Chains A and B, each alone.
Chain A
Amino acid sequence: AQSVTQPDIHITVSEGASLELRCNYSYGATPYLFWYVQSPGQGLQLLLKYFSGDTLVQGIKGFEAEFKRSQSSFNLRKPSVHWSDAAEYFCAVGVKEYGNKLVFGAGTILRVKS
């Protein structure tokens, strides 16, 4: 079955420190990959997406992610975290062969300490 794993439920980083949020997926086909961010009580905002081409993609708010097919991973990174980045981050995968739906990971809650 299709699955998306975000192994870290919570991550705490200091403001100004670097960040990496992990995402692994399990699919037989080539996936489309997304990272969304959700602030408390809010909707889902797209940070970045990968469809094809360059495996290092840039997103909004200084985030980037790298698709590694050999590791079935799409980790999210930011070189310097700001307090406003505190939120929950969801990795999501879409696979054309399985329809247009997105399958989400369980999310990683990011806390930023000053």
Chain B
Amino acid sequence: EPEVTQTPSHQVTQMGQEVILRCVPISNHLYFYWYRQILGQKVEFLVSFYNNEISEKSEIFDDQFSVERPDGSNFTLKIRSTKLEDSAMYFCASTEGENTEAFFGQGTRLTVV
């Protein structure tokens, strides 16, 4: 069964450092998303991406965040200068079309120290 793959599963980084979280969406999917879940809290939407551009972003997704689809398979989330409050589980998701079922990756647990 096709799945969304995220790497790494865990990442520890020092405050102020840049991190890149990687995702390989399902191959025929066209819409890509990042969500995050701070420990003990709800899953929150960060950004959606379609046709090589951001289609929507939340208030959380400020100038410190960026997304990119550098090639035909990867979808990345970059945090330029990490803060302690960026510590969270980050989930990548993809959908085949508009408002179809979202498939989530297993997540990357980011710890900023």
Contact = CB atoms under 8 A, between A and B. Distances in A.
Given A32-B99, A100-B98, A44 B42 contact: no
Interface stretch (A15-23, A67-75, A76-84, A103-111): A103-111
Contacts of B106: 42-43
B75 interface: no
B85 interface: no
Contacts of B43: 44, 90, 92, 102, 104
Contact of A103 (B31, B45, B95): B45
B90 to A, nearest CB: 11
Given A96-B98, A100-B95, A90 B55 contact: no
**Is the interface on chain A under 10, 10 to 19, 20 to 34, or 35 or more residues?**
20 to 34
**Is the interface on chain B under 10, 10 to 19, 20 to 34, or 35 or more residues?**
20 to 34
B104 A43 contact: yes
Contact of B48 (A42, A43, A99): A99
- What 9 A-B pairs are tightest by C-beta distance, nearest first? A43-B106, A44-B104, A104-B43, A101-B45, A99-B56, A106-B42, A96-B99, A104-B42, A43-B107
- Which of B102, B103, B105, B106 has the most chain A CB within a 10 Å cutoff? B102
Interface string B16-41: 00000000000000010101000001
Contacts of B99: 32, 51, 94, 96, 100
Contacts of B98: 96, 100
Nearest to B92: A43
B53 interface: no
A103 B48 CA distance: 13
Nearest to A49: B101
A68 to B, nearest CB: 20
B33 A43 contact: no
- Which of A90, A101, A103, A104 has the most chain B CB within a 10 Å cutoff? A101
A101 B61 CA distance: 14
A41 B107 CA distance: 9
